[in-house]
Amino acid sequence: MKIIIAFSVLMVIFIMLLPVFVVKGVHAEHDISIQAVETEPVLSPEVSSEPAAVSPNPAAPSRGVDTTTMVKLKTGDSVVTLTMYDYLVGVVAAEMPASFYEEALKAQAVAARTYTYYKMLNGSNHSDADVCDNCNCCKAYFSYEALREKWGEKYDYYIGIISKAVADTDGLCVTYEDEPILAAFHSSSPGYTENSESVWHSPLPYLVSVESPENGNTVPNFYTEVIVSFEEFKSTVKKSYPLAVFDTDQEGWISDAEYSDSGRIIKVRVGGVEMTGTELRGLFELRSTAVRWSVGNEYICFEVTGYGHGVGMSQYGANEFAKNGADFFDILSYYYRGTSVKSYLMLDSDKKLL
Ligand SMILES: [Zn+2]
């Protein structure tokens, strides 16, 4: 009898606790499934979804604004979360040669950090990430693993240089009226940078054309040529612009080019269709919109100067300034007019400025 009573009491207790077990079980599974989704995209040890990620980079500062700010990076179909510090090391390494002068690398680190903050605060190009690793959309980025492969036995030396540029500028951003700017940058300019409205339609007071000191002696592939046969020219244009007509002789296929003061094409007619210089650049994969052309017997030859959209800081120009003794504050305030470099930027969990 005692055994039966004891058994019944145990059963009652078990039944009373059952919902707790079940609910707990559901919660636990739910937690696990959320965690699995978040951790799945982690591709390599240096990028972790854990906020307390420890950088595999021995040069990483133990504490700083960059090591406590997290960035969501889209890489392929995955999104990884990493510290601003690790992200910026990967961006500077991908965007600028490690052999550049230290002050140019620091200017690059600050510009890349500013761009990232701008995207976090003003809306990203991506619904599920702050930035991506595609240089045609956001900024190029190499993981530590990719850099090991790229640099081989020079890895320790180069990673030390890049890491120092990021750590020495910890938390610094370029600001205009106390807000991080759209810190656009490009590889090289044909004597002058470009106004933002020539490329993106809307003017920004700090993205205006300035003289830039790089040239064919200091920039590899500063002058390039793209040769396109007449047939290829017609089919390439018609694929994107079906209304284009090529019923004149080849001399008339490209006409009415309007150039900006910096020597880049703003507008041009191709096969009678008006397009922007940026669109022409995209069609024929030209390195910039600083383009002249000539018509041969069987082909059209584009002669291109510089590389990139031309807006904001020129990387090779920054290197020339650094070579001549400018520091990164000088370089940034030269290319981004009317701006300041400030260090107060911190974001709370809702990505609001503190
Ligand atoms: Zn992107």
Write out pLDDT tens, residues 244-277.
999 989 999 999 999 999 999 999 999 999 999 9
22-39: pLDDT as tens digits: 332 222 222 222 222 223
* 281 CA from centroid of ligand 1 (Å): 20
* 248 CA from centroid of ligand 1 (Å): 41
* 36 CA from centroid of ligand 1 (Å): 24
With a CB cutoff of 8 Å and minimum separation 6, the contacts of 209 are 192, 193, 194, 195, 260, 261, 262
Average of pLDDT values for 180-200? Answer: 96
* 232 CA from centroid of ligand 1 (Å): 30
Residue 50 pLDDT level (bands cut at 50, 70, 90): very low
* 130 CA from centroid of ligand 1 (Å): 8
Task: Reply yes or no on whether the pLDDT at 18 is more than 80.
Answer: no
Q: What is the pLDDT at residue 201?
A: 81
In terms of average pLDDT, the best of 50-54, 299-303, 340-344 is 299-303
* 84 CA from centroid of ligand 1 (Å): 16
* 132 CA from centroid of ligand 1 (Å): 4
60-84: pLDDT as tens digits: 666 788 988 899 999 999 999 999 9
What's the mean per-residue pLDDT of the chain?
85
* 146 CA from centroid of ligand 1 (Å): 19
Average of pLDDT values for 328-338? Answer: 98
Q: How far is Cα 293 from Cα 277, in angstroms, rounded to an integer? A: 13
Q: What is the pLDDT at residue 59?
A: 65
Average of pLDDT values for 137-166? Answer: 95
Task: Reply yes or no on whether the pLDDT at 281 is more than 90.
Answer: yes
Between residues 13 and 209, which one has the greater pLDDT?
209
| Token pair belonging to 209 | 């054309």
The DSSP code sequence of 51-68 is TTPPPS-TTS-SSSHHHH
* 273 CA from centroid of ligand 1 (Å): 30
* 78 CA from centroid of ligand 1 (Å): 13
* 126 CA from centroid of ligand 1 (Å): 6
Q: What is the pLDDT at residue 255?
A: 95
Q: How far is Cα 292 from Cα 301, in angstroms, rounded to an integer? A: 8
* 226 CA from centroid of ligand 1 (Å): 27
227-241: pLDDT as tens digits: 999 999 999 999 999
Q: Phi and psi of 16, rounded to 5°?
A: -65, -35
* 25 CA from centroid of ligand 1 (Å): 39
113-144: pLDDT as tens digits: 999 999 998 999 999 999 999 988 999 999 99
* 34 CA from centroid of ligand 1 (Å): 25
* 28 CA from centroid of ligand 1 (Å): 35
Q: What is the pLDDT at residue 178?
A: 86
* 96 CA from centroid of ligand 1 (Å): 18
* 107 CA from centroid of ligand 1 (Å): 21
* 73 CA from centroid of ligand 1 (Å): 9
* 127 CA from centroid of ligand 1 (Å): 10
Beta strands, E only, the chain: 70-75, 78-83, 131-132, 173-176, 179-180, 185-186, 223-229, 254-259, 265-270, 273-276, 291-295, 299-305, 313-314, 340-342
Average of pLDDT values for 309-329? Answer: 98
Task: Reply yes or no on whether the pLDDT at 44 is more than 60.
Answer: no
* 321 CA from centroid of ligand 1 (Å): 29
Between residues 308 and 348, which one has the greater pLDDT?
308
* 138 CA from centroid of ligand 1 (Å): 4
Amino acid code (one letter) for 62: S
* 9 CA from centroid of ligand 1 (Å): 62
* 125 CA from centroid of ligand 1 (Å): 5
Residue 352 pLDDT level (bands cut at 50, 70, 90): low
**Three-class secondary structure of residue 342 per DSSP:** strand
pTM given for the model: 0.81
* 285 CA from centroid of ligand 1 (Å): 19
